[in-house]
Amino acid sequence: MTLIHVLFDSNKLTGLIPQSIGHVTSLEVLRLDRNSLNGPVPSNINNLTRINELNLANNQLSGPIPDLIGMNLLNYVDLSNNTFDNIEAPAWFSTVESLIVLVIESGGLHGKIPQNMFRFPQIQQVLLKGNAFNGTLDLGKTGSDLQVVNFENNAITNYKSSPNYNATIVLIGNPVCTAQLENPIYCSPQQQMQKAYSTSLLHCTSTPCTLDQSVNPQSCNCAYPYEGLLVFRAPFFRDVSNSSRFQELERSLWTKLSLTPGSVHLSNILFNNDNYLEVHLKVFPSTEMYFNRSEIQKIGFYLSNQTYKPPAKFGPYYYIASPYSFPGSNGRGKSSMSTGVIAGIAVGCSILLIVLVIVGIYAFKQKKRAEEVAKQSKPFASWASMSKDSSGAPQLKGARWFSFDELKKSTNNFSEANEIGSGGYGKVYKGIISTGDVVAIKRAQQGSTQGGLEFKTEIELLSRVHHKNLVGLVGFCFEKGEQMLVYEYIPNGTLRENLMGRGGRQLDWLCRLKIALGSARGLAYLHELANPPIIHRDVKSANILLDETLHAKVSDFGLSKLVSDSRKGHISTQVKGTLGYLDPEYYMTQQLTEKSDVYSFGVIMLELITAKQPIEKGRYIVREVRTALSKKDEEHYGLTELIDPTIRAAMNPIGFKRFVELALQCLEESTVNRPTMNKIVKEIEIILQNEGLNTNSNSASSSTTDFGNTKGAHHPFNDQLQKETNSNAFQYSGSLFAPIVEPK
């Protein structure tokens, strides 16, 4: 982008003109007139060799008049009404032959008048009134375009005319006028100026038109033109009588605005007090008497947004449009009905409208009142109406319906301060419901919501799942286009976060065994005792939450799949889960079974041993463990370097070798060689029972029992639990929204 116009006239600018203006050599127009600028004009102003118009008039500039030698494209100069040094006419008066208009009024100039400037081929106006030029004004041989010479109020004592100049010359207020016995024309205040151009209508006979109509110069018929004022801020000429120049503007307008040739009328052309060129414009419709609305919008847009580009000599512009009255407005296209009839209809319609509004408001309030009553008595009454495929209200067991307003209030309008997690499904907020219980509210974002039937199926399923080692569903919201699930709040974050040591808590080996047992019991319940049985499909450490006493709770059933009693294998067209935990057989065959969850649980068991993520720095934990395994190592099974340092320091970890072997059984390539979750529960219980810990073994059905120490042995973990039961060191992680990776 190149800067070519600087139009800062009448902007109340103060201070100096910056020296850097001389470096903007791309400038074609520089207008700083009618401000309060002071100080000298930068000496490098003549670096602007491309400039066409220079206007510094009506400021408080001082010092020498700027030297404009070398500015050979300069058409218009106005340096009037400043406080420049009193000097004789500068040399550039005789050298800048591109000048069209020279204006320096009250500029402190004196001495002889240079004759050469009247010979310039393009010169049209020389306006030097209010100076102190003296001697004889000798025009010599003038240029053919010269129209006005004004030396009013100088000190000229004699005038020598030119044989080829008969246009306007003004010498009022000079001694040459007071010495004359007769008052010559150049001393007269009334001189005939050249008439400004106006589009000719001589070819049209005098057709009478109404007040708001005009004669179309193309058809000579009366029509309703679209009118406005074109204001050109820096034209490169001053001759308003030049017909060829304004006819070029007419052609440009009808061509670029897609109008009929000859349908443009220009009039009232003049330079206003701001030295802007004003042109009154009328454009006419092609055949009809009126423009339609789209045509007016198009023409108005082209002109008002300067999309239309006039011929280059006219420079930058703006457009002031006049209102356009379409047929039927302002008396156009008068109706045959009388004024009284129209007034009667208007009054009647107004009364009817008021009555309808009152009735509508009353009916709306009654409807809202009835809906509120119905909602309070039957919270699921509107379920079917909210979704075409919802097929009635859900059948819940132990979960309740929440209104949108209730959950909004409980989360302080879903504020960021209450946000405790986020994921692909949406966000999780911590809230306090009316009972005083703290809950985690899982709010679906736009694009993640299900159909009514799918959402109903999910909450019916979740409401039937009740187990100590599963995150419990408290309720749901299906209202105002929202889908939200309300879970019990689990304060101590995910197993993955705890293994990484976030919050400062370290899990010893016994604690990890208990977490493994609790997680296994939760999954075994889903596989064996849930009705219908459920395959989790996204078992991972980020989906195992730890409560106040670090008991494990399996979460996130968003990917769960119901298992048919008659069929244990399911073909899925889309493998779902998280990389690093995916059952390779499921990935290859797309056949989903409960053993897919078993494989994922085996990966978690290795995480409990190593505290490493399944895939870390390009290394897969399963492969690393299998490679390092050594049965010769009685203590650590060859895994010394891989074991989490937190538990490596412990002497002879409880059942370590048996735990590793169980994990590797879960990670068998073939599903038939993997144990069931129920079998895994029993194996971990045996590991703990061998150390004298009572696990109250009810396998998968255990939902209320806890561990007890039957030998009275002391374990550091028990002290840690007592100290940290009420700890808030871990915040809710939002792991209910674990991201889903779908391998290609």
pLDDT over 50 at 60, yes or no: yes
Percent of the chain with pLDDT over 90: 38
Provide the pLDDT for residue 533. 86
Helices 509-524 & 716-724 angle (0-180, nearest 10): 70
DSSP 143-160: -TT--EEE-TTSEEEEEE
Q: DSSP character for 648?
A: H
CATH class of the domain at 509-694: mainly alpha
pLDDT at 481: 80
- Cβ(666)–Cβ(602) below 8 Å: yes
Residue 328: predicted pLDDT:
62
- Phi and psi dihedrals of 229, rounded to 5? -120, 120
Of the candidates 286, 131, 163, the one whose C-alpha atom is nearest the C-alpha of residue 224 is: 286
What percent of the chain is predicted at pLDDT more than 70? Answer: 82
d(CA 275, CA 258): 31
Give the separation between CA 414 and CA 160, rounded to whole angstroms.
90
User: Is it the case that residue 715 has pLDDT exceeding 70?
Assistant: no
Q: Does 38 have pLDDT greater than 60?
A: yes
Structure confidence at residue 23 (pLDDT): 92
Min mean pLDDT across 286-295, 328-337, 422-431, 480-489 is at 328-337
What is residue 385's predicted lDDT score, i.e. its pLDDT? 45
642 neighbors 609 (Cβ within 8 angstroms):
yes
Q: State pLDDT tens for residues 328-357.
A: 655 454 444 556 667 788 888 888 899 898
Higher-scoring residue by pLDDT: 116, 649: 116
pLDDT of residue 459: 79
3-class SS letters over 349-384 = HHHHHHHHHHHHHHHHHHHHHHHHHHHHHCCCCCHH
Of 146-150, 325-329, 606-610, least confident by mean pLDDT is 325-329
pLDDT at 537 over 70: yes
pLDDT per residue over 304-334, tens digit each? 888 899 998 898 899 998 888 877 655 454 4
Amino acid at 287: T
3-class secondary-structure state, position 388: coil
Cα three-residue angle 641-644-647, rounded to 5 degrees: 115
- The confidence score (pLDDT) of residue 145 equals 84
Task: Show which residues are catalytic.
Answer: 538
Q: Which residue(s) pair with 62 in the sheet?
A: 83
Q: What is the mean pLDDT of residues 120-139?
A: 91
Where residue 545 falls among pLDDT bands split at 50, 70, 90?
very high
Cα(347)–Cα(156) distance, integer angstroms:
77
pLDDT attached to residue 594: 92
Q: What is the pLDDT of residue 196?
A: 87
Q: Which CATH architecture has domain 384-488?
A: 2-Layer Sandwich (3.30)
More confident residue, 719 or 539: 539
Arithmetic mean of pLDDT, 178-185: 71
User: pLDDT at position 702, please?
Assistant: 39
pLDDT of residue 574: 56
Tell me the sheet residues that pair with 615.
Answer: 620
Map tokens 């203590």 to a residue. 635
Across 180-184, 366-370, 677-681, least confident range: 180-184
Residue 399 has pLDDT above 50, yes or no: yes
Tokens of 703: 């939902």
Q: Which of 199-213, 326-340, 421-435, 674-688 has the lowest mean pLDDT?
A: 326-340
Q: Decide if domain 214-321 falls under CATH 3.30.70.
A: yes
Q: Name the more confident of 535 and 559.
A: 535
pLDDT score for 374: 56
Residue intervals in the chain for CATH 3.30.200.20: 384-488
> Quick one: pLDDT at residue 31?
93
Task: Dump strand ranges (E) for 472-549.
Answer: 473-479, 482-488, 534-535, 544-546
Residue 367 identity: K
Most confident of 3-17, 356-370, 436-450: 3-17
Say whether 442 counts as a known binding-site residue: yes
Confidence of residue 189 (pLDDT cuts 50, 70, 90): confident
Helix axes 594-610, 621-628, angle to 10 degrees: 70
Say what the pLDDT of residue 705 is: 36
State the pLDDT at residue 438. 92
Residue 248, pLDDT > 70, answer: yes
At 701, the pLDDT band (50, 70, 90 cuts) reads very low
d(CA 721, CA 498) in angstroms, rounded, equals: 14
Whole-number pLDDT of residue 470: 92
**DSSP summary character for residue 486:** E
Is the model's pLDDT at 147 over the cut of 80? yes
Report the pLDDT averaged over residues 705-721: 35
Q: Dig out the tokens for 463 from the structure.
A: 């409401």
User: What is the pLDDT confidence band of residue 212, given thresholds at 50, 70 and 90?
Assistant: confident
Residue span(s) of the chain under CATH 1.10.510.10 come to 509-694
The CA angle 4-148-103, to the nearest 5 degrees, is 45
Give the CA dihedral 675, 680, 683, 689, nearest 10 degrees: -170
| pLDDT at position 391 | 46
Once rounded to an integer, what is the mean pLDDT over residues 564-592? 69
31-40, 420-429, 700-709, range with greatest mean pLDDT: 31-40
Residues 65-80 have a mean pLDDT of 93
Cis before 532? omega within 30: yes
pLDDT at residue 229 in the model: 93
- Where are the strands (E) in 1-89, listed by range? 5-7, 14-15, 29-31, 36-39, 53-55, 60-63, 76-78, 83-84, 87-88
Mean of all residue pLDDT scores within the chain:
82
Q: Mean pLDDT lowest for which of 277-281, 398-402, 706-710, 720-724?
A: 720-724
Averaged over 623-639, what is the pLDDT?
Answer: 88
Residue type, 742: E
- Does residue 508 surpass a pLDDT of 80? yes
> Does pLDDT of 610 surpass 90?
yes
Q: Which of 581, 564, 671 is nearest to 622 (CA)?
A: 581
Write out the residue limits of the CATH 3.30.70 domain(s) in the chain.
214-321
Residue 557: CB atoms within 10 A of its CB come to: 22
**Long-range contacts at 464-467 (CB < 8 A, ≥ 24 apart):** 464/397, 464/530, 464/531, 465/525, 465/526, 465/530, 465/534, 465/557, 466/397, 466/398, 466/703, 467/521, 467/522, 467/525, 467/703
Return the pLDDT at 43: 92
C-alpha span between 244 and 105 (Å, rounded): 30
Position 171 pLDDT exceeds 60: yes
Check residue 387 and give its pLDDT: 44
Q: Of 266-275, 377-386, 589-598, 623-632, which gets the smallest average pLDDT?
A: 377-386
Q: What are residue 709's DSSP bridge partners?
A: 693
Count how many Cα atoms sit within 13 Å of the Cα of residue 152 in the half-sphere of its side chain: 12
Task: Pinpoint the residues of the chain covered by CATH 3.80.10.10.
Answer: 5-187
CATH of 5-187, one of 3.50.50.60, 3.30.470.30, 3.40.50.1820, 3.80.10.10: 3.80.10.10
For residue 191, what pLDDT is reported? 62
Q: Cα–chain-centroid distance for residue 406? A: 32
Contacts of residue 615, Cβ cutoff 8 Å, sequence gap at least 6: 579, 580, 621
The predicted model scores a pTM of 0.45
pLDDT of residue 426: 80
SS percent in the chain: helix, strand, coil, step 5: 30, 20, 50
